[in-house]
Amino acid sequence: MFICEICKKNPATVHLTDIHNNEKKELHICQSCAEKKGISFQHSFSLQDLLKGLSKKQEDRQAADVVCPQCGLSYRTFQSRGRLGCPNDYRAFAEQLEPMLERIHGKVQHVGKAPGGPGTAGEQQQEVAALTRQMRQAVESEDYERAAELRDRIGDLKRDAQAEGDKQAQERAQAQAPAREEPQAEQSDAQEADEESGDER
């Protein structure tokens, strides 16, 4: 058993090895002296942590072998290049990309700005798509009551979107209607001017 090389009192529980220019230096110190020197170390290491690390490495190796069926890009190539080859890669590498995207962006679904502000058709389409995915998952897990609720909500959104679209079309038609009448008014003014000049002749 080693005694701390710094305080020369406590048993050495931290063992450091430094190899520099093929020269090996060892330092055996106690936990208290290590903390004073600012040396950080893991307090506990469990078998579970070790197994997690090993399984993660195996998953990484398996993930590297995944290939997009559409463009032929492998996940390993994506990792080295940092670029995907086609839109289908998002599906092919979903298992690997989703945790990474969530870590980077906080979400896995892109939420951008929709034209026209909140409540626009783009946002409604996104909500319908999200609800449709949830409905499929509910059916797969045989939660038919939830699936029916989602189906009804999707129907309501589609009806609301249709009503909003009809309303906007009607507003556009009304906005264009006065523009069509004005040229007729100008024509009648021109006709009146012709008629007046004809009366003078």
Average pLDDT for residues 100-128, to the nearest whole number?
A: 67
- Are the CB atoms for 64 and 74 separated by under 8 Å? yes
pLDDT of residue 11: 92
Please provide the distance, in angstroms rounded to a whole number, between the alpha carbons at the two ends of the chain. 130
Pick the residue with more confidence: 15 or 197? 15
Q: What is the mean pLDDT of the chain?
A: 75
Sequence-distant (≥ 6) Cβ neighbours of residue 7 within 8 angstroms:
29, 30, 32, 33
Count CB atoms within 10 A of the CB of residue 78: 21
pLDDT tens for 16-73 read 888 878 788 888 888 888 888 877 665 555 555 555 554 455 556 666 678 899 999 8
Query: Which tokens belong to 51?
Result: 């197994």
pLDDT tens for 10-24 read 998 888 888 878 788
For 116, which DSSP code? T
| pLDDT of 128 above 80 | yes
Query: Which tokens belong to 155?
Result: 């129907």
pLDDT of residue 9: 92
Return the H-helix or E-strand segment holding 150.
helix 144-200
pLDDT of residue 168: 80
| pLDDT of 8 above 90 | yes
Longest Cα separation, the chain: 130
> What is the phi/psi pair of residue 18, to 5°?
-120, 125
